[in-house]
Structure 1
Amino acid sequence: MTQKARNEDSIAGPVAERLLDWYDRHRRVMPWRAKAGETPDPYHVWLSEIMLQQTTVATVKSYFLKFLELWPTVEDLAAAPQDDVLTAWAGLGYYARARNLHKCAQLVANDLAGRFPNTEKDLLNLPGVGRYTAAAISSIAFDTRSVVVDGNVERVMARLFDSHAELPKEKGEFYRLAGLCTPDLRPGDYAQAVMDLGATICTPKNPKCTLCPLVDLCQGKPHAESLPRKAPKKTKPVRRGYAFWLERRDGTILLCKRPDKGLLGGMVGFPGSEWTEDSLPPAPNTVPIPVTNLTEISGMVRHTFTHFHLELSLFKGDVVQDRYEHLPEKHFWARPEEFGDHALPTVMRKAADLAIDALKGEE
């Protein structure tokens, strides 16, 4: 054994015992987390882990409870129309997760007799389940030893071992270090413990080192805030587009359902243009139905997606009376107070808010 390996073993050896002792006293209470002594519900674990992908715990809590109220079991979720699932998910972002969530529920309910697989290998065959999620479900729901690595774990490992591996290209190094610490006994509690430690103690800024149960083992403590090392973020491009707020005399607004595949697939929004890095005024032939008084609403909708920033201009038009019912495919009418019944993503909710506020100002 090399000196480096001996040093790593001396650090890793006490980690699990200390973290589990700390977790037994300081574990966070979450609606999807089983209480001490309870058996975790795989449906709850899976649902929460899908929701938590790239989303904060604070945001997920209310959505998780709403989903459980609507669909208490995986069979209930599988039987729900996809549009209902997308509507309940609206505002949570990363909408491919919702489509995969529904597909996964149907597969588990219809092909697996309502039982989730209990191994990482089999979990990886489920729609929307990747390496981290498979390990988390396997570990937390079934107490199987799996190496769980998320952003919190990467940070704890980088500081504990003073690792200067760079993310994301050297992510494998953090799996290796996390594997040294992961125990055979209570691996599910351990996985939650190390994630709790990263979320509450070993935070990105101003870590609470004096409260950390691993402080005397931590090799990176003197420069903790500089770890883990990350590649410089690429500048996100800005895309631009426009959308139409087209209103009938009865106060209903034209909405349309987006294609099932692609960005915001299956979601509902306002008709409009493609989003490109060019800024072009709306062409008359892009308005889906005849309108009069087409004018730009003051203000701009700004929204950030994973790979780009969006600037969306909004145009108001009055619908020509004799074309009320002659709508393009997947277009329909809804009153603003009914928008909550449809799967409007956050960017379209922002557009609705802009239009409603602007029109109120004109009254």
Structure 2
Amino acid sequence: MAIKLRALAAKIQIENPKSLRQKLARWFRQHGRDLPWRRTHDPYAIMVSEFMLQQTQVVTVRDYYARWLERFPDFNALAAASEADVLHVWQGLGYYARARNLHRAAKQVADLHSGQLPNDLVAISALPGVGRYTAGAVATFAFDQATPIIDANIARVIARLLDLQEPIDTKRGSEILWLTAEELLPAKSGRVHNSALMELGALLCTPRAPQCPICPIREHCRTKSPESLPRKKPRPKTIALAENCAWIVNDGNLLLEQQTGSRWRGLWKLPVIGESHPRNKLLLAFDYPFTNHRVTLSVYASRVPMESRPNQQWVPLTSIDSIALAAPHRRAIKRLAASHK
């Protein structure tokens, strides 16, 4: 398979990659955005930004990034924090496994490397939650290593440069992207090159209405229909789910339930109402997305139970902001708490 892929990559390789790199770097130095994680080469700060930017837009990450570094300024500070504190600072960013993995990675760096991340791609790759992209991103942005990285923006740029008809979310399509990214690399100093590729995808080579006439590397691009690329496999059908929960308030205290499953483990939410449990007045209902699901969260007024379960706790409504809540439940609680006053 590797031989076949390299043979295919050789057929669709970019002509004159040196010229492409020079044009791209020149454009980036003139037009690259001033982002907070671009003002530092601190490996910890770079890793935090990369974890946060997974599946989250730049505009959302900015404020979280600043608050996180203020609360946990380095690997040792994060390693010493409790999971509850970590989840509370992260809440609102979603995909909480990222926060748990970042916490675990900090503990590993503190324990094995005295709080200093090694300048070694293999060591970085061994950290919890660090995949091929994140390891390469930390190596290139923190240590200026010339290593290939593929995120959504770079994948789109390369797919259009190659006029790649292979779906990029297949094994074959993904490997073509990585091989091409490797071929495009300079011999050293990959920070500017990878930043420029990423920025081109974010600012000009966008999913819709790409600005091809002002693209600095348009002469190297093969596609005639950029908006049709990159291709992906058909999306799975959306599955509808119902989540029925209870609103139980007693003397200004709200009953919450801590999650133990993998989805929202460690976070708090409103207690679940079982299928056979009687439901009273519907107080609130709205939909929210989760992977390929569309979940309808319905909150019902309920009576105070005789006793709470071990994973439940009474929390003053005035202290809700200090609790790490699942995002849809935080939204529901804030709306209902406002009407409860």
The match for 1:231 is 233
Q: Does 1:20 align with 2:25?
A: yes
* Contact 1:119-1:144 within 8 A present in 2 as well: no
Whole-angstrom CA distance in 2 between matches of 1:111 and 1:122: 10
Whole-angstrom CA distance in 1 between matches of 2:175 and 2:119: 23
Whole-angstrom CA distance in 2 between matches of 1:273 and 1:318: 12
Query: TM-score of the superposition, structure 1-length normalised?
Result: 0.86
1:33 to 29, 34, 38: 38
Whole-angstrom CA distance in 2 between matches of 1:61 and 1:157: 27
1:356: Cα distance to partner?
3.4
Whole-angstrom CA distance in 2 between matches of 1:7 and 1:230: 19
1:151-162 matches, within 5 Å, as 151-162=152-163
1:309 to 290, 294, 299: 294
The match for 2:55 is 54
Inter-CA distance 112–317: structure 2 relative to 1 (3 Å threshold): same
Inter-CA distance 328–77: structure 2 relative to 1 (3 Å threshold): same
1:109-142 Cα shifts (integer Å, max 9, x gaps): 1221111132332212101111110111111111
Whole-angstrom CA distance in 1 between matches of 2:7 and 2:324: 57
Whole-angstrom CA distance in 1 between matches of 2:10 and 2:174: 19
2:321 to 340, 343, 349: 340
1:1-363 matches, within 5 Å, as 5=10, 8-34=13-39, 40-169=41-170, 170-220=173-223, 222-248=224-250, 250-259=251-260, 261-273=261-273, 280=275, 282-283=276-277, 295-319=280-304, 323=306, 326-356=307-337, 359=340
- 1:27 maps to a residue whose letter is G
Counterpart secondary structure, 1:319: coil
Whole-angstrom CA distance in 2 between matches of 1:120 and 1:273: 47
* Contact 1:74-1:114 within 8 A present in 2 as well: yes
The gaps in structure 2 that reach 5 residues or longer are: 1-5
Whole-angstrom CA distance in 2 between matches of 1:206 and 1:337: 47
* Contact 1:301-1:350 within 8 A present in 2 as well: no
CA RMSD of aligned residues (A): 2.2
Whole-angstrom CA distance in 2 between matches of 1:7 and 1:303: 42
Runs of 4+ in 1 over 3 A off after TM superposition: 1-7, 356-360
Inter-CA distance 6–258: structure 2 relative to 1 (3 Å threshold): closer
Whole-angstrom CA distance in 2 between matches of 1:50 and 1:233: 25
* Contact 2:245-2:271 within 8 A present in 1 as well: yes
* Contact 1:244-1:314 within 8 A present in 2 as well: yes
The gaps in structure 1 that reach 5 residues or longer are: 275-279, 285-293
1:211-246 Cα shifts (integer Å, max 9, x gaps): 2110121111x2010011111111121111211110
Query: TM-score of the superposition, structure 2-length normalised?
Result: 0.92
* Contact 2:239-2:292 within 8 A present in 1 as well: yes
1:26: Cα distance to partner?
1.4
- 1:245 maps to a residue whose letter is W
Counterpart secondary structure, 2:129: coil
Whole-angstrom CA distance in 2 between matches of 1:168 and 1:8: 20
1:354: Cα distance to partner?
4.3
- 1:124 maps to a residue whose letter is S
Inter-CA distance 206–9: structure 2 relative to 1 (3 Å threshold): closer
